Amino acid sequence: MLSKDQMLGKYQILDRLGSGGFGTVYLAEDKLLNRKVALKVPHHQQDEQGMLQEPRIMAGLKHPNIVELITVERKDDTFFMVMEYIDGESLDKLIRRERSLSPLRALEIAIDAASAIGFAHSHKILHRDLRPANILLTATGLAKVTDFGTSRILASQDLFARTRIGSPPYMAPEHFRGRAVFQSDLWSLGITMYEMLTGTVPFYDADPVKIAQAFQTQPVVPPYLKNQGVPKAFSEVVMKALSVNLGERFLSAQALLNDLNRLKNAIAKDTRPMAAGMNPAGSGPVSAQHPATHTQPRLCRFCYRPLPRNAAACPSCGEKN
């Protein structure tokens, strides 16, 4: 355990950011470069190969939506990773504060996360623990995936990772069976999208076995039925990511990203926001001081297509509006 103001080489410890099963993360200042960094200190300092696993994986992951590894060092018999410091908050804290996010904001974060995971998969890296706590948001709103401590490299001869390591509410059914594949990360992102839109995960229990059983025996309530502000088209993308059958799930992160980008492009072409009553930035309801203009077309809140005036149901998707 490092203490505040303690020096570790050229790094001055400023605060403790958090701790997990594999290590503790501290906010520190690089006194030579006068910049803030995050130091990740593994718990098991004697396991040389174990400590090097995460930095070796992260060394090849240079992507705008992945927290950057700067270097690794050993000072005063302490091994630590020096990482980019994200001056923002984690997605789970944002969800707890807001309860649920606007569909547009959730879509933006999902696109960033899918981009990061797709890049990792292109390098044969399976994250295995994608969840809101491992998605950090910068001050400008960019989402960055972090914590590759449980990740595995899936070589071409490996069909799956034989592991049950992960966070149960976000683990895919095949992951529970110890057969995690790249599509398992897409399931985890699907659960994350679900939580962003509804404020909760589909199933939760203190017993991980009961969570796994629930996904096998109970239908997941689609997000748009839990939150009427969620467009049905977005809800359908989430539900496809949560297909128990791998053949019905998105086959790749790129396929998921393509659908997410199509949703975003559909919104960009429209002059009305994604969800009824939300402003274009997705940050809250349209205020009386800034009313929507009458020149904006009325759009279906499920498929975003224009609605005829006074139409009760969308002629394109059939949903009532």
* 126 token code pair: 């399976």
pLDDT, residue 279, reads 40
Report the mean per-residue pLDDT for the chain: 84
| Model confidence pLDDT, tens digit, residues 187-233 | 999 999 999 999 999 999 888 889 989 998 999 999 999 999 999 99
Asked if 273 and 282 touch (Cβ cutoff 8 Å), the reply is yes
Report the relative pairing of strands 35-42 and 78-84 from DSSP bridges. Answer: antiparallel
Tens digits of residue pLDDT in 212-221: 899 989 999 9
Pairing relationship of beta strands 69-75 and 78-84 according to DSSP bridges? antiparallel
DSSP-derived secondary structure for 92-144: HHHHHHHSS--HHHHHHHHHHHHHHHHHHHHTTEE-S--SGGGEEE-TT--EE
**Of 92, 112, 129, 259, which is the active-site residue?**
129
Using alpha carbons, select from 66, 178, 62 the residue that is nearest to residue 114. 66
Pick the CATH number of 7-84 from 3.40.50.80, 3.30.200.20, 3.55.50.30, 3.30.70.2970: 3.30.200.20
- pLDDT tens-digit readout, 36-54: 999 999 988 888 777 888 8
pLDDT digits (tens, 9 = 90+) for 119-170: 999 999 999 899 999 999 999 999 999 988 666 665 544 444 445 566 899 9
Stretch 229-258: mean pLDDT, rounded?
95
Q: What is the pTM of this model?
A: 0.80
Give the list of residues 6+ apart from residue 148 with CB closer than 8 angstroms, or none. Answer: 54, 57, 58, 61, 120, 125, 127
Q: Higher-confidence residue: 314 or 118?
A: 118
**Which run of H or of E encompasses 12?**
strand 11-19
Query: Above pLDDT 70, what percent of the chain?
Result: 80
Numbered ranges of CATH 1.10.510.10 in the chain: 89-267
Pick the CATH number of 89-267 from 1.10.10.10, 1.20.1730.10, 3.30.465.10, 1.10.510.10: 1.10.510.10
Within 218-294, where are the H helices? 223-226, 232-241, 253-269
Average pLDDT over residues 252-271: 86
**Residue 129 among the catalytic residues:** yes
319 pLDDT band (50/70/90 cuts)?
A: low
CATH 3.30.200.20 domain residues, the chain: 7-84
DSSP 8-state code for residue 54:
H
Distance CA 30, CA 32 (A): 6
Q: Tokens 């718990």, residue?
A: 43
